[in-house]
Structure 1
Amino acid sequence: MSMENLAETFVELADTLVADFDPVEFMHLLADRCVTTLHVDAAGILLVDHHGELQVVAASSDRARLLELFELQHRQGPCMECYLTSAPVTVASFTETPQRWPEFSSVAGDAGFGALHALPMRLREQTVGALNLFTVAEGVLSEPTLRVAQAMADVATIGLLQAQVISHRELLAVQLQKALQSRVLIEQAKGVLAERLQIDMSRAFETLRRYSRSHNEYLSKVAEDVIAGTIDMSALKVVSTADLSARRPQQ
């Protein structure tokens, strides 16, 4: 973790915190930067909705997203405990026995992960979710890495709360609910693109993100247009093809 990379990450996160920012895109940016800056293998973010229920808002990979969904469906696991206790939770190995969460540990191991660190997203006494870091290797992340990770979680929490009067909890609930509703639209749009362009779900999501950035539109708005069929599908195909060529190894 170089100081230059770390500084660039925080500058990018801070630069995104402008008026009327897109919380869903911001959460995905945070998840991606956790992977590249902290050198973990995947990251996921859970936020609480206006009913007090945790929801998956962002993940750096489908494996991490499905694992987070499994935990929420079973209503137990390290990430949920992190949110409920507002304290970090570490699982240094998913293969050690006995396990506190045997079903979650088994699914995490099957997904290829060896360890997990869950960090609370909180500001003072208010906890809005959890930032979860997955590694393929077993073991505990270093203290400096965990301090940086918590700082990134704190920045994200401040970003969610910045435009709200913290004492008015109803306003926060509205913003979080909007983010969660946008997440549903994005998942639907991913399915539409995957079918129309014959690409996998990960590439469909990356296509949505690149299109939204290049056209300076909210990710949720692009998703709505895809679902409604009012977007130029040929333009999206160009974005998807460009992404494919960028990832193709040099001959």
Structure 2
Amino acid sequence: MKAQAIKDIKIKLATLTDANDPYLMALAQDERAGVQKLLQQFYRRLDKEQALKDKYVEMTSFERTLHQEGHRFIAGIDEVGRGPLAGPVVAAAVILPADVVLLGLNDSKQLSAKKRGQLYCEIQEKAIAVGIGVVDHEEIDRINILQASKKAMLLAIDDLAVEPTHLLVDAVKLDCDISQDNLIKGDARSVSIAAASIIAKEMRDNLMKEYHQIFPFYAFDKNAGYGTKDHLNGLKNHGICAIHRKTFAPVKNYL
């Protein structure tokens, strides 16, 4: 019997998800180097997919426990934008269905821009509710960045179309009447907080790209307001703009 073409084997392997499929046993007897390479790639893909599934299960532990306790609407809360020298702090609140699967969820800072964008769309599509809270640079200067971050989180909760029964909050404790757990590095430990982290970062990055069109000297489209070399050069050569945080160093040196 004529051996199957390698290109056809590649197509077939792309459809398989079971490591015990008899087709794989037959391929293991094929001595062609190209076939063995495809097999190795197939098993690496399965290992990677299994690792994502295991990570997802691990990150749903808080949500599973809360659902078992009777909580129906669990909101993950996170914020983005504490460190930048310009622009607002943006928070998101996300309530996910109990049975949702969003493989690859993680702290938004650990994801590529492409993967973050894909997950952003998937979260918006599958979430029960998404809320956004924004506190601008003037309020940050007035009340300080920690209080501004908490305020943005509370605004995000108020923006939800469904009232949450419990909150999973990244790091900080919020002053509200809803029961909450405050998780250190929560965006890497809870799928709900990770989803909120992704929503908040995408929203803020897009907002800073819009600000770049108005204030083009600071590379906001690339640094989102953080103190990169291009941003600092912009400050040096053009001074501050309308969205800089005046209480932050080195911005206050240019007042």
TM-score (norm 2): 0.24
| Higher normalized helix content (fraction of residues) | 1
TM-score (norm 1): 0.24
Q: Flag the structure with larger Rg.
A: 2
